[in-house]
Amino acid sequence: MKNGDGAYIQAYNAQAVVDEQHQVITAADVTTNASDALNYTDMLDQSARNTGTHPKQALVDAGYCSDTNLEAARDRQLSCGTDTFMATGSLGHDEQVPPAPRGRIPTDATLKERMARKLRTKPGRKTYSRRKAIVEPVFGQIMTCQNGRQLLLRGEDGARGEWRLLAACHNFRKAFRHAGTAGLAAAIG
């Protein structure tokens, strides 16, 4: 992958779908694509296979924003009921999302313009703001508590296996904290 300086480095893009209620990882993968845009559909499909249900909402950052993903989000809403909130661009550090314009959405508005407007409504801002409290702490916990900043195994399959092991360990920690020793013993027995 290319780094910030434009040089090619041995690196992977770790992906995760995280449950809001308990911060449990429902899907995990590693790719060699620097952009997240190619992973939107695959990750939500993996989460649905792993849990047996499609997520009610998907809160995804601007890295996933593409015409293909906006079309997929629209189709997923109709077929699976997943309401996607996809950032259409990045904001500066202290920059606030401007309020949505009043009136009806123009009939000729693109999917990107419609999504941007959806995120600028009060409910859209409130919903999307939760993303930082749902998925970002999971990556932080894996990096600090499990030393997951650098993967030790080489090759895409090795890196994928290690990332999924880190995700499983993260989930075991969450289950233990939620259920405690007695709860885990009851679940096993």
Q: Is residue 6 part of a domain?
A: no
> Look-up: residue for tokens 């449950």?
19
Mean pLDDT of 10-39: 89
Copy the structure tokens of residue 54: 């499609």
Contacts of 55 (CB under 8 A, 6+ apart): 17, 26, 44, 47, 48, 82
Any domain includes 157: yes
The token duo for 79 is 């077929």
Measured CA to CA, the distance from residue 170 to residue 141 in angstroms comes to: 8
**How high is the pLDDT of residue 50?**
95
Residue 74, phi-psi category: left (phi > 0), alpha (psi -120 to 50), beta (remainder): alpha
Q: Is residue 36 part of a domain?
A: yes
CA distance 69 to 76: 10
Residue 84: band (very low, low, confident or very high) from pLDDT cuts 50, 70, 90: very high
Residue 5: inside a domain, yes or no?
A: no
Question: Helix, strand or coil for residue 25?
Answer: strand
Find the domain containing 72 and state its range.
13-91+101-188
Domain count, the chain: 1
In a domain, 81, yes or no: yes
pTM for the full model?
0.83
Q: Does any domain span residue 50?
A: yes
Is 7 inside a domain boundary? no
Is 3 part of a structural domain of the chain? no
Quickly count: other Cβ atoms within 10 Å of residue 177's Cβ: 10
Output phi, psi for 14, to 5 deg. -85, 135
φ/ψ (deg, to 5) at 89: -175, 170
99 vs 135: which has the higher pLDDT? 135
- What average pLDDT does the segment 11-37 reach? 90
| Beta strand ranges found along the chain (DSSP E) | 13-18, 25-31, 57-60, 83-86
